[in-house]
Structure formats: structure tokens, C-alpha cells
């Protein structure tokens, strides 16, 4: 399940967020003033999503 965290955690808890992203393979939504601001996802999962999207666009 996706996590929701304040964007300030990116500075203060980068190690924790990195581990969470890699271990969970789920997006981490970072908020600013309670509004979605950024999404953090591990590189392997991002590459898989990008590949899947590219394949769908190409009709594979």
C-alpha cells in the first residue's frame, strides 16, 4: 500500500524513505501543506512501470 509522508521527511529521513521504497516496491507520496507534491519510487520499480507503459503504447 502506498505511503503518505510530509516532504520534510525527505530531508530528515532519507535513509528510512529509501529503505521503505526499495523494500515495499510501492510509491511514497510526499506532501507539502497536506497536498500531494512528489512521489518517491525505487528505480527498479520505475523501470518496470516505464517498460510496461512503453509496451502498451506500442501495442505489445
pLDDT by residue (tens digit) across 35-47?
Answer: 999 999 999 999 9
Residue 23: strand, helix, or coil: helix
The DSSP code sequence of 34-57 is: TEEEEEE--HHHHHHHHHHHHHHH
> What is the span of the domain harbouring residue 38?
3-57
Q: How many domains does the chain have?
A: 1
Please list the pLDDT of the chain residue by residue as tens digits (60 residues): 788 999 999 889 999 999 999 999 999 999 999 999 999 999 999 999 999 888 888 887
| 18 close to 25: Cβ distance less than 8 angstroms | no
25: domain CATH number is 3.40.1620.10
| 17 close to 39: Cβ distance less than 8 angstroms | no
| Overall size of the chain counted in residues | 60
Amino acid at each position: 500500500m502506498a505511503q503518505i509522508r510530509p516532504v520534510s521527511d525527505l530531508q530528515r529521513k532519507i535513509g528510512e524513505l529509501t529503505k521503505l521504497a526499495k523494500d515495499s516496491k510501492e510509491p511514497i507520496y510526499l506532501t507539502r501543506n497536506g497536498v500531494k507534491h512528489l512521489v518517491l519510487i525505487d528505480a527498479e520499480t520505475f523501470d518496470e512501470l516505464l517498460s510496461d507503459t512503453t509496451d502498451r503504447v506500442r501495442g505489445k
